[in-house]
Amino acid sequence: MKIVAKRTAGLTDARLHYCPGCLHGVAHRIIGEAMEELSIIDRTIGIAPVGCAVFAYNFFSCDMIQVPHGRAPAVATGIRRARPDCVVFTYQGDGDLAAIGTAETVHAANRNENISVFFINNAVYGMTGGQMAPTTLANMKATTAPYGRDVEDTGGPMRVCELLASLEKPYFITRVSLLSPKDILKAKKAVKRALAGNMEKKGFHFVEMISTCPTNWGMEPLKARQWARESMIPVFPLGVFKDREAEEKEAAS
Predicted TM-score of the model (pTM): 0.95
Strand 205-210 with 116-121, pairing: parallel
How far apart (Å, rounded) are the C-alpha atoms in residues 225 and 199? 33
Task: Name the strands in the sheet holding 63-66, side by side, starting at the edge strand that comes first in the sequence.
Answer: 63-66, 44-48, 87-93, 116-121, 205-210, 172-177, 239-243
At residue 250, the pLDDT reads: 87
Which residues in the chain come in under a pLDDT of 50? none
What is the pLDDT, as a whole number, of residue 2? 55
**Cβ 214 vs Cβ 19: under 8 Å:** yes
Cα separation, 144 vs 159, in Å, equals 20
CATH 1.10.1060.10 assigned to 24-252: no
What is the reported pLDDT for 129?
77
User: In angstroms, rounded to a whole number, what is the distance separating the alpha carbons of residues 232 and 7?
Assistant: 31
For the chain, give the longest Cα–Cα distance.
Answer: 54
